[in-house]
Amino acid sequence: MDESNNANNATERFEQALKEMNTGKYVLRLYVAGMSPRSLEAIENIKRICDENLPGRYELEVIDLYQQPIFAKDGQIVAAPTLIKELPLPLKKLVGNLSNVEKTLVGLDLHTGNK
């Protein structure tokens, strides 16, 4: 019965991902190491960038690796902060505090002329 539930959950996640791909929604995960100044800066920077360039079109999940260290292994995170753009494809990883806005926009496949 657990296998059936896992299969149903995987199917539901896949179907949700397909819907989000078709809507142009960005699904982002930001991995931080505690609430250090660098982590807080990365959170602030990505929220500002998304609010300015993807208003209403993004989902951001912040994961503290100190509180949930298993996610470091699962997400293959070797440095923090790390931002992962899961959708739209292709998947991309950006490491650092995301203070270089132009570099972050290029990494997210958002070009300053295309808002």
pLDDT single digits (tens) 58-102: 999 999 999 998 888 887 888 999 999 999 999 999 999 999 999
State how far the Cα of 7 lies from the Cα of 98, in Å rounded to an integer: 36
Cα–Cα–Cα angle for 65, 12, 18, rounded to 5 degrees: 90
Average of per-residue pLDDT values in the chain: 86
Question: Is the CB of residue 97 less than 8 Å from the CB of residue 41?
Answer: yes
DSSP 73: H
Q: Report whether 86 contacts 21 (CB < 8 A).
A: no
**Per-residue pLDDT at 20 exceeds 60:** no
Distance CA 72, CA 55 (A): 28
Structural domains present in the chain = 24-107 (3.40.30.10)
**Contacts of residue 112, Cβ cutoff 8 Å, sequence gap at least 6:** 102, 105
More confident residue, 74 or 20: 74
The answer on pLDDT for 109 being more than 70 is yes
Q: Considering the entire predicted model, what is its pTM?
A: 0.75
Please name the residues in contact with 45: beta carbons below 8 A apart, sequence gap of 6 or more: 97, 98, 99, 101, 104
